[in-house]
Amino acid sequence: MSTKTDADLEGDRRVLTLKNLMGRSLILNRPEALNALTHPMVLAMKKHLLGWQKSDLCNVVILRSNSPRAFCAGGDVVRVSSEWESGNQRGAMQFFWDEYSVNHLIASYEKPVVALLDGYTMGGGVGLSVHAAFRVATESTVFAMPETKIGFFPDVGATFFLPRMDGQTGVYLGLTGQRLKGRDLVYAGVATHFVPSERLPMLEKRLQEIDVVDYDVVNRAIEEFVAQPEAGQMEYSLAGVRDAIDRCFRFNKVESIVEALRQETEAEGVVAEWAARTLEQLMGMSPSSLKLTLEQLRKGRTCSIQESFALELRLAERRLSSHDMHEGIQALLVRKSNDPQWQPSTIDAVDMQKLHAEYFETRGNYEMQFLDPANFEEYPHSYGLPSEKEVGEFVRGENPQAGDFGLTRNEVVAFFVKGSGHKIGVKEKVNWVLDRKTRLLPDSSVLQWIK
């Protein structure tokens, strides 16, 4: 009989399992730390996910929390930093290796995975959920990738998923750590569905009853519990500044982004206020993290899912060797003084040529090994709202189903509504995109896409 180690016991205590009918649930159970991931928790999840993938008694996997406050607020970076600083560099890197391999396993899982994002979903919690085929937000969901604030960079597959969000939204979220809440996640593409938290127990029970491995069946089951938004309303906090986000965050230099934001502050109204807040956010981040993150996300546009995690492992090793990551963790999470002393202390002082050579041209000492061979350029399943890219391709006739003739607004909206099975929110988002991105041809009802 094998004897469990202390790490095994911690993993079993902090990651609970529920088996009912054909459903299997992984339940994060570290509420006192908002379910921040420890290494034993990651290993426990890996063990169960690998076992359930092979089991004929499992048709769907559900990821959730035992606490209404948080799904998972991140990884236990304090412990990782401490291990590295004490000389256990391999142990610190092993955490990231195992975390990223579990993230990739979820992205490539051969059965439907449903993540219930009730409460704080940040950092490592995003890695556990955003790669799942189904991501369910509630009115309590708070999403963020705040890594630049602690001198790190958005990891857990952010290299892959942030650049694939609408326009420059992902770059904006990755640099600033801006939070999205509730329905924001659906309109931004982070979540596929919005279900009120009071309905989650019923949803979990319904998913457990599914007697076939079928993504469309799972999607229809979740749709049974989705809440309708107020008639015709776009409940999206970024709606009023989406175009400004693209104007400011389209540049390849952080200095240019900062200058664009400063220019926006000279106007009046919502956009000027947003630009001022965003500048304040950026000025509080590690300057080297900002430049590293922007370069990472630009490269991510052409990275496959495996290339993304391999790059992040290399960046994590280099970042653990830096001053800023440990300083940021100490100032914000240990001392809680919120006064990190960054080195360099300003954006202009960061030598981009030196940074690029150190982080992107130097091989690391650790290589990713994946639990599943799957590799892809785009996620294999798409159950969220249409992206701005998809709407644009259809309006411009680049989608073969668009035909050879110009399209009216009603025709475009009808195509996406019908194609989604009349999914809640599709009509509102497509109309919103068309309002911003199209105009009518002269003396016509045909739409023209505005570059």
Q: Which residues are catalytic?
A: 75, 124, 147, 155
Q: Where are the beta strands (DSSP E) in 56-214?
A: 60-65, 70-72, 113-117, 120-122, 134-137, 142-144, 180-181, 193-194
Task: Please tell me the distance from the alpha carbon of residue 167 to that of residue 185, in angstroms, as a whole number.
Answer: 15
Strands (DSSP E) contained in 209-328 are none
Q: Are 242 and 168 in contact (CB under 8 A)?
A: no
- Rounded distance between C-alpha atoms, residue 183 and residue 191, angstroms: 8
* Cα–Cα distance measured from residue 216 to residue 208, given in angstroms and rounded to the nearest whole number: 15
For 59, 155, 224, 250, 283, the CA distances from 276, given in Å and listed in that order, are: 49, 27, 41, 18, 11
Is residue 378 within 8 Å of 180, Cβ to Cβ? no
CB atoms within 10 A of CB 15: 25
- C-alpha 77/C-alpha 326 separation (Å) is 9
Helix H or strand E encompassing 204: helix 200-208
Tokens of 50: 């690998």
d(CA 316, CA 147): 12
Rounded alpha-carbon distances, angstroms, from residue 152 to 53, 129, 329? 33, 20, 9
Place of tokens 């092979």: 54
Residue 193 host element (H or E): strand 193-194
CA dist., res. 24 & res. 216, Å (int): 18
End-to-end CA distance of the chain: 66
User: What does the buried/exposed string (b/e) look like for 90-105 if buried means 16 or more CB atoms within 10 Å of the residue's CB?
Assistant: eebbbbbbbbbbbbbb
Which token pair is 281? 């956010």
- Name 17's Cβ contacts closer than 8 Å, sequence gap at least 6: 24, 25, 26, 27, 48
Beta bridge partners of 64: 27
3-state DSSP assignment of residue 185: helix
How far is Cα 436 from Cα 243, in angstroms, rounded to an integer? 8
Q: Which two structure tokens, joined as six digits, stand for 318?
A: 């280099």
Closest to 294 in 3D by CA, of 309, 276, 315: 315
